[in-house]
Amino acid sequence: MTTKEELLKQLKEGVINYNEEQVKEAASKAIELGYPALEMIMDGLAAGMEVVGELYERNEYFVPEVLMCADALYAGLDILRPHVPKQESGVVAQVVIGSVQGDVHDIGKNLVKMMFDVAGWQVHDLGRDVPLEKFVEEQLRTDAEVVAMSAMMTTTMLGMKKVIKMIKEKNPNVAIMLGGAPVTKDVAKLFGADGYAESAGNAVQEAIKMIARLREMQQTKAAN
C-alpha cells in the first residue's frame, strides 16, 4: 500500500517537475486510499508550488515552466477539491487581486492567486496593469475582505498608496495586502497597508492574520 508520505512527495514533485500525469495519478490514489484531500492539497500540491515560486525568484525557472507547473497543480486540484469536506472548503473569504496600473508583470500575482485558490478563497482576479480605481470599484462590488496588490517596479508601486487611500476612505474595514519585488514591510506600513506578503507561500496566512486583526479592531470599537 502506498503511504500518505509517498503520495504527498509524488504530488509535490509532480508539481515541481510539471508532470501532470504523475499528479493526477497520485491525487486519484490518495482519494482511493481515503487520505484527507485537504492535507494532500496543502502539503502536496501547494508545497510544490511554493518551491516553484522559489525557483522562479532565483531565475532557475521562467514563465513557461511556471505555467506548466500551474497546469499540474490545477489538474490535481480538480481531482482533490471535490473531496474536501464542505465545512473545510466553505469559502473562507474573498480577495480582490491584481497588478497595479503600469505593471504588466503578473507571475508573482498569479502564484499568490493560486495559493488563495488552493485555500478555498473566492478570488476576484483583475489581471495586470489594473487602473487604480478598478480596485476600489471591485472591492465595493464584491465586498471582499482583502485587497491584494502587486507591483514589480518602484514607479508603479506608488500607485498602491493612492489605492489604499481611496479604499480606506470608502471602507475602512478592508484589509489591504501588498507584494512584489520593490515592496518591503516598511513600504507597506508607510503606504498604510495592513499587511505584506514576502512570498506566495505566506500570502494566505498573512491575509488570514490581517482579517483577524481587523475584526479585533472592529470589536474593540464596537465595545467602546
Residue 15 backbone phi and psi in degrees, to 5: -70, -45
pTM: 0.79
Domains identified in the chain and CATH numbers = 4-87 (1.10.1240.10), 91-223 (3.40.50.280)
Cα–Cα dist 90/73, whole Å: 20
pLDDT tens, position by position, for the chain (224 residues)?
789 999 999 999 999 999 999 999 999 999 999 999 988 998 899 889 888 888 887 899 988 898 899 999 999 999 998 898 765 555 678 999 999 999 988 888 888 888 888 878 899 999 999 999 999 999 999 999 999 999 988 999 999 999 999 999 999 999 999 998 889 999 999 999 999 988 777 788 888 888 888 878 878 877 87
CA distance 6 to 46: 16
Do 83 and 36 touch, CB atoms closer than 8 A?
A: no
E strand map for the chain: 94-99, 122-125, 146-150, 175-179, 195-197
Distances (CA, A) of 26 to 20, 57, 186, 195: 10, 27, 42, 35
